[in-house]
Chains A and B, each alone.
Chain A
Amino acid sequence: MSKDIEPLFSKKNRALLTDPLDDDNPITVQVLGICSALAITVKLEPAVVMTVSVIFVMAAGNVIVSILRNVIPTRIRIIVQLLVVATLVALVDQFLKAYAYDVSKQLAIFIGLIITNCIIMGRFEAFALGNGVWKSFLDGVGNAAGYGWILIVVAFIRELFGAGELWGIPVIPQFIYDLGYQDNGLMLLSPMALIVVGLYIWIQRYYNRKLIEKD
């Protein structure tokens, strides 16, 4: 490794931030974190708050694990990582309850779900344990944003076609309903999240040819 100081946003570092949005997206390319993507994409608002919470937990967790990377005993590293996630999630929960009570109520179970999000453990294990603090921070933000982006897209589609609303506000004008249009209740059920993610993967691969596996 060269001793030259790498600029904060060198090309490599920028890639840490932007790759997870498309080329290396945790959900559509690595197919991680699917379980929570099913649960919280019925409506846009919880999806956005979940995104923000995951960005915080993942960036902070990556930084902590990266700081400790040289002292964490190898044999118990998974437990240590789990402890870091669980602590951060408990902190988020406590602060939301005190300062953003309404949001915390809406997200009640989802906050706990962050702990089980395999993307977070995956990044700790695969990246933060072997990289410096700044890089780990960027990687955390990038992957959480890549995850959140998919959540928001899926939630947008499901809420729009499932309930005719966005952010809880009806957006489909009455005359369309008068013409015989109906909200598709199926969109609100979990299987449709998978189908929407599948369609996203299809479209993504159509435009991003390098993702297509060679036979």
Chain B
Amino acid sequence: MNRDSNKHTYIFAVLMVLSVAFVLSFTSESLKDLQNANVKKEKMQNILSSVGINVSRDESEDLYMDYISEELSLKSDGTIDDDIEAFDINLALEVKKDSDTQRFPLYIANVENEKFYVIPLRGAGLWAEIWGYIALKEDINTIKGVSFDHKSETAGLGAEITEDWFIDSFTDEKINDSQGNFVGVYLTKSNNDPRNEDKMDNEVDAISGATITGDGVSDMIIERVQNYLPYFNNISNE
């Protein structure tokens, strides 16, 4: 056998590629259900953690059923589109559409007789996407809690947005200014409030060394939450 002949080279390359393709597609197909279940449970876990319920990923499915009372998909004018399952909306694809054709998922949680509106967030960090959930109390102004996650922010810097000390700083912040206009929550380096005692200033302390990730968090809160204002206006006028 001459292993440097053209024939051998072609046959080897074809066999090698075919066997690799077979192994990979077989593994991918057989593990798909487990992987999707993990992703789904994690989504439920994140939604729950934004309303202050921290559970392990395995328990999240049962508790999600207990606490999340409604899943709505909203049109840009604030009306509800009954044809689309809110939980199945893939925000990564949805944010690329025009805001007129997007559907905005909204989760309504009932925890110990308190009602919370949970809005999914998605935006850009420094290296790749960041996403999360923001839970608003019934006044549609005060933040109950948030949860953030990211694809590949810098460990120790931007990746800190998932840490409790950062997430906790959002609790009880307002998304409206004192006149009641929607302004979101800004991450700033100069809010003169390092202990975050002022909950009316629409500001939390930014993370040193993670300016771009922080700006991404501020932007995504404004950009996503403003889409829900028509719906919130509708329900407050009822």
Do B17 and A94 touch across chains, with their CB atoms under 8 A apart? no
Could you tell me the distance in whole angstroms from the C-beta of A130 to the nearest C-beta in chain B? 15
- In the complex, A212 Cα to B50 Cα: how many Å? 57
Cβ of A43: which chain B residues have Cβ within 8 Å of it?
A: 155-156
Do A94 and B9 form a contact, CB below 8 Å, given A99-B34, A188-B156?
no
- In the complex, A162 Cα to B20 Cα: how many Å? 42
- Contacting residue for A87 out of B20, B35, B57, CB 8 A: B20
Do A91 and B16 touch across chains, with their CB atoms under 8 A apart? no
| In the complex, chain A residues 57-109 whose Cβ is within 8 Å of any chain B Cβ | 70-76, 79-80, 83, 87, 90-91, 94-95, 97-99, 101-102, 108-109
B contact face: mostly helix, strand, loop, or mixed: helix
| Chain A residue nearest to B2 in the complex (CB) | A73
A185 within 8 A of B: yes
- In the complex, A101 Cα to B154 Cα: how many Å? 19
Could you tell me the distance in whole angstroms from the C-beta of B209 to the nearest C-beta in chain A? 6
- In the complex, A91 Cα to B28 Cα: how many Å? 8
Select the residue from A46, A97, A102, A108 with max chain B CB neighbours within 10 A. Answer: A97
Cβ of A95: which chain B residues have Cβ within 8 Å of it?
A: 27, 31
Do A94 and B27 touch across chains, with their CB atoms under 8 A apart? yes
| Chain B residue nearest to A41 in the complex (CB) | B155
Encode B75-101 as 1/0 by CB contact (under 8 A) with A: 000000000000000000000000000
A129 within 8 A of B: no
A197 within 8 A of B: no
Do A94 and B12 form a contact, CB below 8 Å, given A43-B156, A73-B3?
no
Do B31 and A70 touch across chains, with their CB atoms under 8 A apart? no
A133 within 8 A of B: no
Cβ of A91: which chain B residues have Cβ within 8 Å of it?
A: 23-24, 27
Could you tell me the distance in whole angstroms from the C-beta of A177 to the nearest C-beta in chain B? 15
Do A98 and B12 form a contact, CB below 8 Å, given A42-B156, A87-B24, A91-B24?
no
- Contacting residue for A97 out of B4, B13, B31, CB 8 A: B31
Encode A6-46 as 1/0 by CB contact (under 8 A) with B: 00000000000000000000000000000000001011001
Could you tell me the distance in whole angstroms from the C-beta of B101 to the nearest C-beta in chain A? 30
- In the complex, A42 Cα to B157 Cα: how many Å? 10
Cβ of B154: which chain A residues have Cβ within 8 Å of it?
A: 42
- Contacting residue for B157 out of A76, A98, A188, CB 8 A: A188
Cβ of A144: which chain B residues have Cβ within 8 Å of it?
A: none
B201 within 8 A of A: no
Do B156 and A162 touch across chains, with their CB atoms under 8 A apart? yes
Do A46 and B155 form a contact, CB below 8 Å, given A73-B4, A98-B35?
yes
| Chain A residue nearest to B17 in the complex (CB) | A83
A152 within 8 A of B: no
- Contacting residue for A76 out of B13, B28, B38, B42, CB 8 A: B13
B208 within 8 A of A: yes
Cβ of A102: which chain B residues have Cβ within 8 Å of it?
A: 57
| In the complex, chain B residues 1-30 whose Cβ is within 8 Å of any chain A Cβ | 1, 3-4, 8-9, 12-13, 16-17, 20, 23-24, 27-28
Select the residue from B4, B13, B16, B31 with max chain A CB neighbours within 10 A. Answer: B16
Could you tell me the distance in whole angstroms from the C-beta of B21 to the nearest C-beta in chain A? 9
- In the complex, A197 Cα to B105 Cα: how many Å? 48
- A contact residues vs B (CB 8 Å cutoff): 40, 42-43, 46, 70-76, 79-80, 83, 87, 90-91, 94-95, 97-99, 101-102, 108-109, 162-163, 185, 188
Top 3 nearest A-B pairs (CB, nearest first) are A98-B34, A98-B31, A73-B9
